Every structure is written in structure tokens, then in C-alpha cells.
A and B are shown apart, each in its own frame.
Chain A
Amino acid sequence: MDVLAFLVEPLQYGFLTRALAVTVAAAVVAAVLSCWLILMGWSLMGDAVSHAVLPGVALAYIIGIPFSIGAFVFGAGAVALIGIVRSTTKLKADTVIGVVFTALFAAGLAIVSATPSQIDLMHILFGNVLGVSSGDVWQVLILGAVTLAILLFKRRDLTLLAFDRTHAHVIGLNTRFLSALLLGLLALTVVVGLQAVGIILVVAMLITPGATAFLLSRSFDRMLVIAVVLTVAASVTGIYASYYLDISTGAAVVLSQAIVFAVVYLVGRPDGVLWQARRRRPGSPVGGRRRSPDAVAAAVAPRRGADDAATSGA
């Protein structure tokens, strides 16, 4: 079978093109958000919000409203609850997050188990992207576009918030509002992504692309671009792998992202783990080049503080 046929064949099926659209759209939004999420140190918050939407999804099915409304209400509610408990106790953030999201997740399981006939738990947990209707596709595309537009419009404020919250406050920005905005957009992104890969694996979409791009970037705009490009590649690869190898779509997409991360981690940058291991071997061809050109330039530059030694190795 030639390459073109290989690529085109799955697209003859409407369900697969819909799956592709939903997955790529969700992955792009999640990848963009993940860049801020990992820099804020909020990866665990992504985990929490995605689990906490379960009761919302279940109740939405029972009442018969769009699942995204239920999911958003509970996602945002979890964020608010975490914020309230955190600010009124001395507990550390990860502790509060752990208590709140497991409680909500358990509540969701309880609701689902009490109404077994109406809800397919596996679909909520692990996604059912091959079963999405065109209505679902539009829902994902519109919510995704809105989320993406707000993220990109406010990207400089959000980057400042992640980098130096005190400065943001001192120049008169409303840091509480910006935090709440980012968390609200996180809840929206979870809503968008759970359609594609389910609420368990959406966490991966919220963390892995940003983590991969971070390893490759020295500027934030570049990080955004790299995260998006890699996540699109991984999503498309995942969908095709799922078609040809007959494996779960959500799993295939997340595994593709993890493989991209692993490749970048091992060889994707000058200080990649494999290169470092090679350099440590005496007599290896790259043995002499221990430092990046920048670091060498820094070391030979005249009249510099002693702290150079500490920074140039980084």
C-alpha cells in the first residue's frame, strides 16, 4: 500500500475524520494551556480539575443537558473549593487538591453507579472519540476556539503572572483575576479534551506537550509553537496508530505524546541525556565539547563575577 493510500484510507470513514478533528482541536488548546500550567507549577491542578468533572458529566447526562455545562460547573467548582480550603487552613496546596478531587471523583462514581443504565462510565473515563456526533464536534471546536482566543489574547499577562506574580501585582495588574482566568480556562480545556481522550487521560494532554516544549525552548513564544506542532503531530499519529493497530484512541494519542517527550528528553537538545552519557565516555568523538558555545563565550568573557561558574554549567 502506498503512502497516500495509507493516509487517505481512514479518512473515508466519517467517524474517523470527526475523531481527528476533535482530537487535534482539543490537543492544540490543551498544549497551549499546558505551557502556562507547567510554568505556574499547576500540573496537579490539571489532574484535579479533570477528575473533579466526573459528577458534573454524570449529572448532565441524567438531567439531559450538554455534558460540557455539567463538566465546567464542577471543574470550576473544584477550583473554587480548593482555593477556599487552601486560604482558610495551613494545609499545603497538593494536600488540599488531593482531598478535594478524590472526593469529587468518588461522588461522580457514586452517581454513575446509582444510575448504571444511562451512563457509560468507560466512555467518560477513557473517552469515546470514535463515537462523537457532528454536534459534539461543533461543541469542541467552538469551546476550543473561545478558550484559545482568550489564552492568546491574554498571553503576555499570563506569562507575567507565571514568571513574576509580585511584579504583576506591583504594576497594578489584578493577579487574582488572572489566576482565576487561567483556572477557568483550565476547566474549559478539560471540558474540550475529555471528549477526545476521557477525563483520566486529558491530564496528559494538559501536561506533556508543555513539558516537552519546555525542554526545547528558551523563549515562551517558541515554547507555544513547539508545543502545538508536536501535539498535532502526536495526535495525528495517535489516531492513525489507533486505526491501523486497533488500539484505544485515547491511549494511542497519549502514548504518542509520551514518546515525543521521551525522544526529546533523550536526544532532542544539546544537553539531552544520551549526549551527556556519550560525552562522559572518554575518547568519544564529542568528548571535548562539554559546553554549549554560549557557555564558552561566557566563560572567556573578561571581567565577570565569580557566579558565572555557577550559571554557565546550567
Chain B
Amino acid sequence: MSSMPTDHVPPGDDPEDGAPILDVRGVSVTYDDVQALDDVSVSLRAGSICGLIGVNGSGKSTLFKALMGLVAPQQGTVELFGRTTAAARRAGLVAYMPQAEEVDWTFPVSVSDVVGMGVYGRLGAARRLRPADRAAVGEALERVGLTDLGRRQIGRLSGGQRKRVFIARSIAQDARLLLLDEPFAGVDQASERTMTALLRDLREEGRSVLVSTHDLAGVPEFCDEAVLLHRRVLAHGHPAAVLTQGNLARAFGAAPSDDDPRPLHPAATGES
């Protein structure tokens, strides 16, 4: 982490010959009467780490859901690797790292069981791991430094180790696009550094990462580009160009919406 990646150029051997990894065009998502995304367009090229920034309720998780095909936009289109989201999913190109509170940590599965779930997409109907798949799981565990803990039940890990299990799962999957929704929430500085180093290694292999984060200070060092979201895309580009005083004031200062009370009346609701 010596210097800022001022001009990170995506690798030229882009397997999708220049087609964007992720192409969101004019997407609007409305839940009942709440508009979560309004005419959002974002595109991302191979081999970059893109930070997704915005206040609580600005639509970050909704954008992830749209990318995974978990919500259907009322308007607009989402393409991944030049295909529909469903086709990209079936090809095993996308990995999602769940937020800690979405995971049942009491579930009787071991660390290597979970990482093994990364390869299910390319297995037969019974999902029996072949020797090559076991090797891929072992390699993934090694890369995240969890080799010795493979047999542990997942709840018996520290917060930082838990996150690395899911990074290992996307490595075993060999996903080309990693979607991480607030991976640094509740993680200490040392663990965050370990994870960002890992993600940057994955980026060097030509994988792409879309990561939502509240750690604004870490963005310029960690991310190649940033998207500032507030129901619409307020800014998209180099982190330094996105994280200007003016933009941040627009995104965090004067929240115009009634369903996003945090910046204006902090004690109004417990929603997050």
C-alpha cells in the first residue's frame, strides 16, 4: 500500500474484449412506494476495484440486488459480462459476500464446507467435489490464510476470519466479479488491511470488485474508482475526483429524502 493507484489501467488481456464487466443502464427500482434507485447508470471495466459510497438508505444494497437478479428493476437493464444477470450467474462469473448479520453462524458447517460451496456451480447434480475441486478449496483457504482452520465450525472464528472464509469461497468459485456489501463493517484495522490486500491481489488477476463501504478514508488508497450513490449516481470516476467536498456535501450533507432520516434527524428511527 505504498502509493495511490493514480492511473490504474485495466489489464489489456480482458477476456470480454472490452465489453464492460458490469453495465447498468437507467435502472430504477421501487419498493412499494419507496424509490430506492432512480435512473442509475454505472459501468465497470475488468480488473478494477470500485467503491460504492452513500448514506444509509441510498440504495447500495438495492444496486447489489439488481446486479444479482434478486430485484427486478421497473426500468432499465442490467448486463454482466455482456450477458443477462441470469446467464452470468449460471456461468459462475459472479460472487456475493453476505453481510455478517445475514449469516447463520450457528449453522453446522465447517470453513472448508463453506468454501466448497463456491465450486457447486460447476459440479454435477449431487454436487460431489472431485479431487480437482478439493484442491481448489485448499488453495483458496491457503490464499486467505485459513488452511489450519478448515475443519472449524464457521461460528468459531473471529470477525476478520469469518470475512476471509467468504473471500475464499469466491476464489474457489473463480468468480470474475466480486460483490461485497459493506465487508469492513465491524472489522478492525488490521483485518481490513488483510482483506484489502487480498482483494487487490485478486484485482491483479483481472477480477473486478464492487464494494460498498462507509470507510471513506480508505477509498482513495484501496479503490481504483468510486461511485457516489444517492438514489441516483451523483458522481463516478477516480476516487479523488468523486470524493470532493462538494460531492460529499451533496451525498451526506443535505439528504433530501424523508425515508433517509439519518443525516437530518439522527435519532428519528432505528432503520439502517
Given contact pairs A39-B107, A157-B120, A169-B69, A314 touches B155 in the complex (Cβ within 8 A)? yes
Report the stretch among A129-137, A213-221, A239-247, A279-287 that lies at the interface: A213-221
Min C-beta distance of A253 to chain B, whole Å: 25
CA distance A159 to B109 in the complex (A): 9
Residue B34 CB within 8 A of the other chain: no
Instruction: Tell me whether A170 and B155 are in contact (CB under 8 A).
Output: no
Residue A156 CB within 8 A of the other chain: yes
Chain B residues whose C-beta falls within 8 Å of the C-beta of A311 in the assembled complex: 155-159
Instruction: Tell me whether B89 and A169 are in contact (CB under 8 A).
Output: yes
Min C-beta distance of B153 to chain A, whole Å: 4
Residue A2 CB within 8 A of the other chain: no
Given contact pairs A156-B127, A217-B108, A298 touches B156 in the complex (Cβ within 8 A)? yes
Would you list which residues of chain A between 153 and 207 have a CB under 8 Å from chain B? 153-154, 156-157, 159-160, 162-164, 166-173
Report the stretch among B95-103, B197-205, B224-232, B238-246 that lies at the interface: B95-103
Min C-beta distance of B213 to chain A, whole Å: 18
Instruction: Tell me whether A172 and B68 are in contact (CB under 8 A).
Output: no
Residue A305 CB within 8 A of the other chain: yes
Counted as pairs of residues, one from A and one from B, with CB atoms less than 8 Å apart, the total is 111
CA distance A220 to B114 in the complex (A): 11
Instruction: Tell me whether A304 and B158 are in contact (CB under 8 A).
Output: yes
Chain B residues whose C-beta falls within 8 Å of the C-beta of A171 in the assembled complex: 89, 92, 95, 118, 120-121, 173
Residue B271 CB within 8 A of the other chain: no
Chain B residues whose C-beta falls within 8 Å of the C-beta of A168 in the assembled complex: 120
CA distance A295 to B157 in the complex (A): 10
CA distance A312 to B158 in the complex (A): 8
Chain A residues whose C-beta falls within 8 Å of the C-beta of B110 in the assembled complex: 218-219
Chain B residues whose C-beta falls within 8 Å of the C-beta of A310 in the assembled complex: 159
| Complex interface bits, B124-166 against A, C-beta within 8 A gives 1, otherwise 0 | 0111100000000000000000000000110111111100000
CA distance A295 to B95 in the complex (A): 31
| Complex interface bits, B81-118 against A, C-beta within 8 A gives 1, otherwise 0 | 00000100111101110100011111111100110011
Residue B186 CB within 8 A of the other chain: yes
Interface of A is mostly: helix
Q: Determine the interface band of chain A, counting residues with CB < 8 A from chain B.
A: 35 or more
Instruction: Tell me whether B155 and A156 are in contact (CB under 8 A).
Output: no
Residue B42 CB within 8 A of the other chain: no
| CB-based nearest A residue for B191 | A305
Instruction: Tell me whether B108 and A305 are in contact (CB under 8 A).
Output: no
Residue B258 CB within 8 A of the other chain: no
Min C-beta distance of A193 to chain B, whole Å: 24
Instruction: Tell me whether A164 and B98 are in contact (CB under 8 A).
Output: yes
Residue B169 CB within 8 A of the other chain: yes
Given contact pairs A305-B159, A314-B155, A172 touches B109 in the complex (Cβ within 8 A)? no
Min C-beta distance of B158 to chain A, whole Å: 5
Instruction: Tell me whether B169 and A305 are in contact (CB under 8 A).
Output: no
Question: Contact check: which of B70, B96, B126, B188 meets A154 at CB < 8 Å?
Answer: B126
| Complex interface bits, B48-68 against A, C-beta within 8 A gives 1, otherwise 0 | 000000000000000000001
Chain B residues whose C-beta falls within 8 Å of the C-beta of A39 in the assembled complex: 104, 107-108
Given contact pairs A169-B70, A172-B92, A218-B110, A164 touches B126 in the complex (Cβ within 8 A)? no
Instruction: Tell me whether A164 and B153 are in contact (CB under 8 A).
Output: no
Question: Contact check: which of A163, A294, A306 meets B104 at CB < 8 Å?
Answer: A163
CA distance A169 to B69 in the complex (A): 9
| CB-based nearest B residue for A163 | B107
Given contact pairs A171-B89, A172-B121, A307 touches B186 in the complex (Cβ within 8 A)? yes
Instruction: Tell me whether A153 and B125 are in contact (CB under 8 A).
Output: yes
Instruction: Tell me whether B156 and A314 are in contact (CB under 8 A).
Output: yes
Residue B190 CB within 8 A of the other chain: yes
Residue B187 CB within 8 A of the other chain: yes
Chain B residues whose C-beta falls within 8 Å of the C-beta of A24 in the assembled complex: none
Min C-beta distance of A41 to chain B, whole Å: 9
- Using a CB–CB cutoff of 8 Å, the interface residues on chain B facing chain A are 68-70, 86, 89-92, 94-96, 98, 102-110, 113-114, 117-118, 120-121, 125-128, 152-153, 155-161, 169, 173, 186-188, 190-191
A157-B127, A167-B169, A305-B188 known, 5 other contacts, Cβ within 8 Å: A166-B70, A167-B98, A172-B121, A219-B153, A311-B156
8 closest A-B pairs (Cβ-Cβ)?
Answer: A307-B159, A172-B90, A171-B121, A156-B127, A218-B153, A172-B89, A305-B158, A305-B160
16 CB contacts below 8 A, A to B, read A39-B104, A39-B108, A154-B126, A156-B126, A156-B128, A160-B117, A160-B127, A168-B120, A169-B69, A170-B68, A170-B94, A173-B121, A305-B159, A307-B158, A311-B155, A314-B156
